[in-house]
Amino acid sequence: MHQLKTGTLYIVPTPIGNLLDITYRGLEILKNVDLIVAENIQHTNILLQKFNITNHLVLMNKDNENQKSDNLIKKLQAGVSIALVSNAGTPVINDPGFILVKKCYFFNIKVIPLPGACAAITALSASGLANNRFCYEGFLPSKKTARCNLLLSLKNETRTIIFYESKYRILQSMEDIIDQIDKNRYMVIAREITKKWESIHRDKAHLMLKWLKEDKCRYKGELVIIIEGFKKILKHNVSKKVWDTFCLLRDVLSLKKSVTLTAKIHQVSKNNLYQYAIKKDSDNT
User: Which residues contact ligand SAM (rule: CB under 6 A)?
Assistant: 16-17, 86, 88-90, 93-95, 118-120, 164-166, 190-195, 222-224
Q: Select 32 or 194, whichever has its Cβ closest to ligand SAM.
A: 194
Strand partners, 59: 38
Query: In angstroms, what is the minimal distance from the CB of 248 to ligand SAM?
Result: 44
Nearest position to ligand SAM, beta carbon: 89
Q: Select 189 or 268, whichever has its Cβ closest to ligand SAM.
A: 189
The 10 Å CB-count burial string (b at 16+, else e) for 11-47 is: bbbbbbbeeebbbeebbbbbbebbbbbbbbeeebeeb
Q: Select 16 or 273, whichever has its Cβ closest to ligand SAM.
A: 16
Is 35 in a helix, a strand, or coil?
strand
Q: What is the C-alpha to C-alpha distance for residues 160 and 173, in angstroms, rounded to an integer?
A: 17
Q: Select 79 or 138, whichever has its Cβ closest to ligand SAM.
A: 138
Query: In angstroms, what is the minimal distance from the CB of 170 to ligand SAM?
Result: 10
User: Contact 29/2 with Cβ under 8 angstroms?
Assistant: no
Work out whether the CA dihedral 217, 160, 117, 100 comes out positive or negative. negative
Q: Select 127 or 262, whichever has its Cβ closest to ligand SAM.
A: 127
Collect all residues with Cβ–Cβ distance below 8 Å to 106 and sequence separation of at least 6: none
Query: In angstroms, what is the minimal distance from the CB of 61 to ligand SAM?
Result: 11
Selection from 227, 229, 228, 242 nearest residue 276 by Cα: 242
Query: In angstroms, what is the minimal distance from the CB of 53 to ligand SAM?
Result: 21
Query: In angstroms, what is the minimal distance from the CB of 15 to ligand SAM?
Result: 9
